[in-house]
Amino acid sequence: MQKPLSTKQQQFLDLIQRHALTYGQSPSYAEIMSALRFSSLGTVNWYVKTLIKNGHLNRTGGPNSKRALTLTEKHPASARLPLLGFIAAGTPIEALENAESVEVPAPLVHPDNFVLKIKGNSMIDDHIEDGDYIIVRKTQSAEPGQSIVALINGEATLKRYYPQNHKIELHPRNPDYPIIHINETDDFQINGIVLYSFREY
């Protein structure tokens, strides 16, 4: 019989499942330490051992395996996030506000997350196609190479982000589309980074 979880233990399990959904593998101990702001890898190891002992976590591949953590019971399969409208994966278009919501994997539900529906095919090399949905985390900063939701002169677009010296380039992932060059006169803002994409059948 499983023991009840503390808030931090629940966050630990949520992180493992969310990371596995997003990246196709469980997080490393170092990634867990950074994400949960633990002071040492020993703390991560203590949580792993405790959660295994209490029946919430499995570690496959032996005691030295650092990316082999799986949950013994799945979290609720899905939950819902707000669908804030459409975004262009092509030329920029205006994002549309509405009150709909979309079913998404439960570990990706967060107060700062939302869903947008894709129009266009400029990101197909990232397996993001017309009609797909993306889950976005609200933020005003991003790392080079991340896929971002950007506002350019009031219009939203989805592209890879590449700051270069005093310039910014937004790269499509389809050779049929041009790179967008952000000028000093442009009103440019990052609205979020892409965490996950999916489609409905």
Catalytic center residues: 122, 159
Q: Distance (Å, rounded) from C-alpha 24 to C-alpha 135?
A: 16
Per-position DSSP letters for 21-37, written without gaps between them: HHHSSPPPHHHHHHHHT
Q: Distance (Å, rounded) from C-alpha 138 to C-alpha 26?
A: 23
Query: Would you give the DSSP letter of residue 127?
Result: T
- Phi, psi of 93, rounded to the nearest 5 degrees: -135, 170
Contact 169, 160 (CB under 8 A): no
Helix (H) or strand (E) holding 17: helix 7-23
Q: Distance (Å, rounded) from C-alpha 124 to C-alpha 104?
A: 21
Q: Distance (Å, rounded) from C-alpha 134 to C-alpha 76?
A: 20
Q: Which residues pair with 102 in a beta bridge?
A: 81
